[in-house]
Chain A
Amino acid sequence: MLYAILCYHDEDLVGSWSKEHDADVMQKLTVVQDKLAKQGRLGPVARLLPTTSATTLRKEDPPLVLDGPFAETKEQLLGFYVIEAKNLDEVLDFARELGEANPGGTYEIRPVGYFTAGSVKP
């Protein structure tokens, strides 16, 4: 079954990483992802741009457009993975490995109810 791993971290902190550190983390994460990709279990992976570039649409009548992210929190949604796993333990194993490559912050693991791979190319 499919699981989403939602990545939360303090974006101020992530934004203070040196370029070298950022590249180092991304490289380590790629190694972890590649293992899963080889087994055909890695779905879409996204890293989001800063929340300052976010816009929120509240579905009121009429819809209300607001600047910034939906939730004002200490840690922000910075990216997500979709992966195939047999059970929660497998997802947790993967998430732990990701966490070793990129310590700090939080992963929220959620089973996926509906999924379409879509057609956009990176």
Chain B
Amino acid sequence: MTDTAWIDAALTSARPQAVGALLRYFRNLDTAEEAFQNACLRALKNWPQNGPPRDPAAWLIMVGRNVAIDDIRRSKKQEPLPEDDQAISDLGDAEDEIAERLDGSHYRDDILRLLFICCHKDLPATQQIALALRIVSGLTVKQIARAFLVSEAAMEQRITRAKARVAGAQVPFETPGAVERSERLASVAAMIYLIFNEGYSASGDTAEIRSPLCEEAIRLARLLLRLFQSEAEIMGLTALLLLQHARAAARFDAEGEVILLDDQDRSLWNQKLIAEGLALIDKAMRHRRSGPYQIQAAIAALHARAEKPEDTDWTQIDLLYGALELMQPSPVVTLNRAVAVSKVRGAEAALDMIDPLAPRLSNYFHYFGVRGAFLMQLGRNDEAHVAFDRAIALANTTAEASHIRMHIDRLIRDSKPGQAKAK
């Protein structure tokens, strides 16, 4: 371990709480961030000599606050500060007092507010994610740019723009009521899922670079769950991310080609993440308050529990997708359900199920990939070929395209001996 590794970890883990509290105090994101940065600089100087403080977050909040107040006074702007301003002279006592207050009610809402600011509805998804990774997770612009595969300058601009938008927006600082809190929780959960997907949807050649996004999303989901321990949907979200990320090492082959679930080497699945995910979905189910994340996690859990692909409980997966369809009707959900249906009732039934989706999914890569696979199973090879061609035209990544090309190759291979026989 390097000498500063523990300091880095302490600063990272204290960050959401500290920036959240400083934001409540200064009501300005830039001031709060700057105050936190200054506190971190002092921590780097102070902690190696004096050892870590008992409560790093409380220490950072107090020091950040004092430095910022000094700066404001010095710049003689004399902006009026919120009323609970106190002159903090004695560090030890003040730390105790702040630590005590943090254990109280503010703590949860501070962090939730900080996360919530990042998912402001005027911000496009990519800006939400970038902002959250910068402000809440504390990743550097360089790290975020790398994960997004864009230049540092472009990412800097994206974050600056997002911050300006957020600064102009009305951020409610009063303690939220129950309804408002649960709305915030839902927005934040959706944003965390976006972060995860940004990493998860990577192709084989970029999966490694982008997997920190998945790990950060899991860290944020766990943080949220620690604050809201009995929220079944947050358990579901966390379980979903864990169970999906557990398969990371098995999802691509050495050439970066996609390996489908059925063909993955299950010994590469991360059993620790699976155990945590399964424990969480079990916990969530006990609440009997179903929700989309829980259902998706339950589906992922059924895959995780199957030691071999043929052990998969497709009947149950079909039922779960049925429930998800009712909750969140979407052609993509129906398409996923059709895959389960094809395993339970055959490709014919599955094909009947997805035919009506054609107008809405006419530009969706997976629709034609799945359709082609069903047709191939039914021996309707010419139609399958047409579907696969369309899929290739719509592929988002080279890995997707080459995966479909593999199917076409098989079609051609399979049809040759058949033709020979016909002659």
- Give the B-binding residues of A (Cβ under 8 A): 10, 12-19, 21, 24-25, 28, 49-53, 55, 65, 67-68, 74, 103-104
Contacts and interface: CB of A to CB of B under 8 A. Distances in A.
A12 B223 contact: yes
Interface in B275-296: 275-276, 279-280, 283, 286
Interface stretch (B178-186, B224-232, B354-362): B224-232
Interface in B6-55: 6, 8-10, 12-13, 52, 55
A15 B215 CA distance: 11
A78 to B, nearest CB: 14
A30 to B, nearest CB: 14
Name the interface size band of chain B: 20 to 34
A25 B2 CA distance: 11
A16 B12 contact: yes
A15 B12 CA distance: 10
Nearest to A74: B55
B203 interface: no
Interface string B43-71: 00000000010011000000000000000
B9 A49 contact: no
A10 B1 contact: no
26 contacts: A10-B13, A12-B226, A13-B9, A13-B10, A13-B13, A13-B56, A15-B222, A16-B12, A17-B5, A17-B9, A21-B1, A25-B1, A28-B1, A49-B279, A50-B276, A51-B226, A52-B225, A52-B226, A52-B229, A52-B280, A53-B276, A55-B279, A55-B283, A67-B283, A74-B55, A104-B6
B55 A21 contact: no
Given A21-B9, A52-B225, A53-B279, A15 B219 contact: yes
Q: Nearest 10 CB-CB pairs, A to B?
A: A16-B13, A16-B12, A53-B279, A68-B229, A12-B13, A52-B225, A16-B9, A13-B13, A67-B230, A67-B229
Contacts of A103: 1, 6
Interface of B: 1, 5-6, 8-10, 12-13, 52, 55-56, 215, 219, 222-223, 225-226, 229-230, 235, 238, 272, 275-276, 279-280, 283, 286
Contacts of A12: 13, 223, 226
Given A12-B223, A74-B55, 13 more contacts: A12-B13, A13-B56, A14-B9, A17-B5, A18-B9, A21-B1, A25-B1, A49-B276, A52-B226, A55-B283, A67-B230, A67-B235, A103-B1
A13 B12 CA distance: 8
B26 to A, nearest CB: 23
Contacts of B238: 52
A25 B9 CA distance: 13
Nearest to A50: B222
Contacts of B219: 15-16
Given A10-B13, A25-B1, A53 B6 contact: no
Contacts of A21: 1, 5, 9
A21 B6 CA distance: 9
Contacts of B12: 16
A16 to B, nearest CB: 4
B22 to A, nearest CB: 18
A19 B270 CA distance: 14
Contacts of B229: 52, 67-68
Contacts of A55: 279, 283
A27 B225 CA distance: 29
A74 B222 CA distance: 16
B353 to A, nearest CB: 36
Nearest to A11: B226
Nearest to B238: A52
A26 to B, nearest CB: 11
A24 to B, nearest CB: 6
